[in-house]
Amino acid sequence: MKTQLKPISKWFIAGIITAGSASLINPALAQTPVNTPISNKAFVEYTDESGIKHTVESNELIINVAQVYSATIEEDRNEKGVAGKTVNFAHKLTNTGNGPDTYSISTLANLSSDDSRLGDITTSLIDSDISYFFDENCNGKTDDGELPFAGDTVTLDAGESACMVLAFQVPVDANKDDKMGAQLIVKAHEGTGSGVDGKVEDKGDNNDATDPLAGFDTNGDVLTVTNNAVLDLEKTATPIEGTFKESDADINFDVNGDGSIDDAPVNIIKYEVTVQNDSITPAKDVVIFDGAPEHTVVLPSGTYGPQSFNINSLQGDTPVEVVDDLADEGTNIDLNQDGVNGSTEADIGIDLNNNGNTTDTDPISGVYAVKKELSVGKVGVTFHVAYDPLKVPAETDLVNIAFACADLNNDGNFDGEGECNDPDPTTSGPDTSNPTTNPSENNSGGSITDTGDKGNDPDDDTNGGGDDDGSVDGTQTITTVPAGAEAYFYNIVTNLGNKADSYDLVTENDLTNPFPAGTSFSYQNGTGTADLTDTNGNFTVDTGLIDPVTCLEIDSSTTTVAGTNIELTCNQKLIRVVASLPQDGGSKATESLATTTATSFNDPTVTFSKIEKLESITGPTVDVANTAITSIDPATNIDDAASGVATTFDIALGESKEVGIYIANEGGINDSFTLLAEGVNEGDMVPDGWSVVFKHNGIDTNADGSVDVAASGEIITATPNIGPGSVMHITAVFTAPADAAKALADSDQVGAVNGNAASGDTDLDYIISIKVSSNVTGASDRKLEAFDVESTSSVDISPDSLSGQAENGGSEVYPHTLTNTGNTTEEVTLGTSDSGSGDGFTSIIMVDHDNDPSTPDKNIALLCADGETEVLAEQADGSVASIEIACPAGTLNLEPGEEVSINVQVQVPPEAPEGYKNNTTITATGSSAGASDEAIDTTEVVNGDVTLDKYVGVSAGCDGTITGMFEKDPSNGPGVKPGECLVWKLIASNNGLAKTENTIIRDEIKSGVETMETASFKSCRLSETAPGDVIYSSTVLDPALQFICDPQGPSADANYDPATMTISFDVGDLESGDLYVAEFMTRVE
């Protein structure tokens, strides 16, 4: 109905701010989000006078991105209306900043003083005429159910928008060409408690740009009163309750267009269109027309045929008529009054069926009527549309808008303002009704069927799949499957509803002829490549979504499921119901039955079922042994695990041992067997660190001891299919771990035994069992092997060597780890010796005895004297081990694999000369022969000592001038905003006694957050700065240093590599007591 609404007495603003609403827009943010941290650390490299290179890192700086506030409001508008009626103005507020903000909303009953249209205003308003409410569907007008906004602020996240509408009722005494205005005012809070002026940019048409806050915070709207006829179209849509079909006597129409009138279901919507003239000027030759929504047709006659009111043929009117193709103006009427008979939507330029385009070429069912002259009162038409709910996807919005074209200014033409051939596209017709939207009905339905004569050939697929009885009878039949197998039954699930649906699956065992006890049922896709899961969130396995039956309207072709000859349409899915038979179920000569039921997720009252039938089950056996099997006897189990260890093998750390294994298929069908290495008992894991692989060594097809199928040597995890009475030859490669803690000389495996006890051996061995199990039937057998690991004694100190520097009278600490790397328990004695002991160098070994960094470490040589009995040492896996101290010797009792961290502290004498090197030898001696190791730490006496400090300041204008002072820890400060700059200051100080050489400062900026300002590189050296130019440091940074120089640019020492985003300053020599200041600037994106 163009811009008219039911009369209201106020202007309104409507907005929507709910996250996730269709009216919210969330563009990708162009600015770095608020509170993004920027962290940075610099490094300095230098060479001391002895040519030794050193690297020192600065403190780490972390600064957070601050919030940037910005927003837009769009736009100034101009509309026309008649006295006593209502006109809408649409606007949109958008938060274009990088974080959330709150906005105050208000209105004024006039334009701003600088609006260029202010001089045209003839009628004033009062503020009490103005209020606002939500435009929830962002359609630019106030709709029923959209309530006035109770507050005066809205909050939007970054990138979100709110739709708003001003709605104004024209005064009843307004005159033609009267103009009246109002303004919408939006002010951003920008983190304060109230609106801030000049922060919301006025986008689009902006008529108050000369304001001191040019183009900000306001939208102005102007209404012009007209005396032309103004058509007001109103429309209602009412679904008709009931159950209908095409063949009903009061319908009797081919609704779904399949060429027949049958029992196809039908849904009906009643449309009532009224047209009134809101002006005193009559409208002439009023053509009212309405196309059926896409997917629907107009019912032409009978109970649901069209009707007119106040449209009389005796007055020259044309009562409502139903046409098969509304766009065919040559047959019907010139809808848009352009004098040209169009034949398609494109010719007319109107979306008749409201499907979002004007390009339809297929016939569009519709109605039209003509009122020769409309002055006062209402005229209208009533008609019904129908659709087949099984041809229209569920919840499809059936949108309908009625149209009208007319001679509004009574000049006998149809090209005046607002008429359908008005050359101005901003004011041209047709007039429209309010849109009505009715979602199509949601129908649920389906079926689950057997595959009949389709599917795999049962002779080639003994596990099932295809329907062995070859008929569609509601039962999927499999002839026979071995015990322990997974028998799968094909099921075709069909969605007969009009909405995509998933179907919960439940299979229940038959009470009279059940599958064996212990049988479980699961579900797979049609090709068996994936299990079905719960996709709809109700804790029941389902089919996954299946397209509705309406998909056949788009594509009625079929697709063949891979590996079968089963053809499916778009609304069907093939699934497998998998019956996992128990291993101990044995044979079963009678049939086993179960019922599979599918339940619609959309409508749980819709269920359908079919039968899964297995006619018989066979039961095979298997035998695995260390000796060749040359006689097939299911009653005899060679090398049975229940009888103990089959063979014991000696093995060293890290050694691999090859063992021959033989697997006999003692069942009655071709079978494949999984190869599995386990621990002592069935289901136990192989001992940690041990591994077993199996290699193909040939197949003896007739159990005569000779290989008939040649060995491939390939590593396998399962045998190929081997026939009844055949023997698979396997080479099993057992590998002991190189980690002594996992291959102890005296096994700590739970359930371990001594396999060599008969030969006088006293330690326990590692037990590994070999299990073979059928992939088809579940038949299995196990045997045990024992492995006696040779003793290996070893301890290790790591790293083997460390080096460091210390000044005269200073000390250096070297961290090491002592580890028992053997497979025997060792009592370890630790000690140190210094090459410079004669010159005063000393060393001790310290240990964190209680695993508590808050307490002092203790000298390991004094632990017994201090009454300590254990050292609590953190292990590589994070656990804490208790290392026993053997007193009075003070040795550490280390189990295999245990470790303890130690710190070797070297003390430098006060008079040690520059460059002197002392070697500290650390020794560890175990209680077993060969269990010893040593490490050497080298300490050099140096005079150079360079430190690097890093500071940062914020330059809002990116001119190098900072706000406040440089800081070492700005993390709790106000942060930096995108578009602002960071000024980085690096200070290298030589605190040693001698100069350093080849000194280089390097820093790397953060990719994606910072960009380098290459003209910002500055530097200075304190020793080269005139006394008057020295700066007291507390005026520019925290007073960590007393005096610094003021860096100047451009720095000749600076070099920037954009590929690595690294800047370096080549300092060169740095004298003792001197300092070098480097400075550069980056811009935050």
CA angle 497, 499, 504 (to 5 degrees): 75
Of 555 and 130, more confident: 555
State the DSSP string of 1032-1043.
Answer: EGGGTB-TTSSE
Question: In which band, very low, low, confident or very high, does the pLDDT at 1032 lie, cut at 50, 70 and 90?
Answer: low
Helix (H, G, I), strand (E, B) or coil at 860: helix
Q: Who's near 852: CB < 8 A, 6+ residues apart?
A: none
336 with 467, same domain?
no
CA 546/CA 536 separation, integer angstroms = 12
pLDDT at 13: 35
User: Does the pLDDT value for residue 213 go beyond 60?
Assistant: no
CA 785/CA 659 separation, integer angstroms = 10
Q: What is the CATH number of the domain that holds 221?
A: 2.60.40.2310
Last residue of one domain, picked from the residues 225, 256, 279: 225
User: Does the pLDDT value for residue 711 go beyond 60?
Assistant: yes
Least confident of 75-79, 562-566, 925-929: 75-79
pLDDT at 25: 33
pLDDT at 944: 66
Let me know if residue 1010 belongs to a domain. yes
Sheet with 715-716: list strands edge to edge: 622-625, 656-665, 727-735, 691-700, 715-716
pLDDT digits (tens, 9 = 90+) for 615-642: 988 767 889 999 999 987 766 888 888 8
Helix (H, G, I), strand (E, B) or coil at 469: coil
606 with 703, same domain?
no
From residue 878, how far is each of 293, 869, 875, 899 by CA, in Å? Answer: 69, 22, 5, 12
Range of the domain at 1043: 946-1084
814 touches 834 (CB < 8 A): no
User: Does the pLDDT value for residue 27 go beyond 80?
Assistant: no
Let me know if residue 678 belongs to a domain. yes
Let me know if residue 797 belongs to a domain. no
829 with 909, same domain?
yes
Let me know if residue 2 belongs to a domain. no
pLDDT at 462: 46
pLDDT at 187: 93
Mean pLDDT of the chain: 84
CA 283/CA 280 separation, integer angstroms = 9
416 with 479, same domain?
no
User: Does the pLDDT value for residue 722 go beyond 90?
Assistant: no
CA angle 105, 108, 113 (to 5 degrees): 120
> Which of 327, 320, 566, 302 is closest to 451 using CA atoms?
566
CA 633/CA 642 separation, integer angstroms = 18
pLDDT digits (tens, 9 = 90+) for 661-710: 999 987 756 788 999 999 999 999 999 999 999 999 999 988 999 998 89
pLDDT digits (tens, 9 = 90+) for 745-802: 888 889 888 888 888 888 899 999 999 998 777 788 999 999 999 888 889 999 999 8
Let me know if residue 8 belongs to a domain. no
> Which of 117, 107, 114 is closest to 79 using CA atoms?
117
Tell me the three-class secondary structure of 756-805, residue by residue. CHHHCCCCCCEEEEEEEEECCCCCEEEEEEEEEECCCCCEEEECCEEEEE
285 with 324, same domain?
yes
134 touches 147 (CB < 8 A): yes
389 with 461, same domain?
no
Let me know if residue 49 belongs to a domain. no
- The most confident of the ranges 85-89, 197-201, 902-906, 986-990 is 902-906
Of 482 and 1060, more confident: 1060
433 with 459, same domain?
no
pLDDT at 418: 81
pLDDT digits (tens, 9 = 90+) for 134-175: 667 655 567 677 666 666 788 998 878 787 888 787 888 888
Give residue 173's region: left, alpha or beta (phi > 0; psi -120 to 50).
alpha
Question: In which band, very low, low, confident or very high, does the pLDDT at 16 lie, cut at 50, 70 and 90?
Answer: very low
Structure tokens of 627?
């000796």
315 touches 353 (CB < 8 A): no
> Which of 933, 937, 931 is closest to 919 using CA atoms?
937
195 with 274, same domain?
no
975 touches 64 (CB < 8 A): yes
Q: What is the CATH number of the domain that holds 1005?
A: 2.60.40
Structure tokens of 179?
């103009």
300 touches 365 (CB < 8 A): no
Longest dimension (CA), the chain: 133
pLDDT at 151: 65
Q: Who's near 838: CB < 8 A, 6+ residues apart?
A: none
Q: Beta strands of 496-606 (E only): which ranges?
A: 503-509, 520-525, 559-560, 567-568, 572-580, 592-600
pLDDT above 70 as % of the chain: 88
Residue reference for tokens 């041990």: 690
Mean pLDDT of 860-883: 91
Q: What is the CATH number of the domain that holds 556?
A: 2.60.40.10
Last residue of one domain, picked from the residues 410, 439, 468: 439
Last residue of one domain, picked from the residues 603, 618, 633: 618
Mean pLDDT of 923-932: 92
> Which of 473, 486, 478, 482 is closest to 455 using CA atoms?
478
First-to-final CA distance of the chain:
48
Let me know if residue 61 belongs to a domain. no
> Which of 285, 307, 240, 248 is closest to 267 using CA atoms?
240
688 with 733, same domain?
yes
Total structural domains within the chain:
6
596 with 699, same domain?
no
CA 1050/CA 1039 separation, integer angstroms = 26
967 touches 928 (CB < 8 A): no
> Which of 242, 350, 375 is closest to 304 using CA atoms?
242
- The most confident of the ranges 100-109, 211-220, 226-235, 826-835 is 826-835
CA 912/CA 836 separation, integer angstroms = 10
User: Does the pLDDT value for residue 82 go beyond 50?
Assistant: yes
Single pTM value for the model: 0.47
158 with 196, same domain?
yes
CA 928/CA 1003 separation, integer angstroms = 52
pLDDT at 58: 66
975 with 1001, same domain?
yes
Let me know if residue 63 belongs to a domain. no
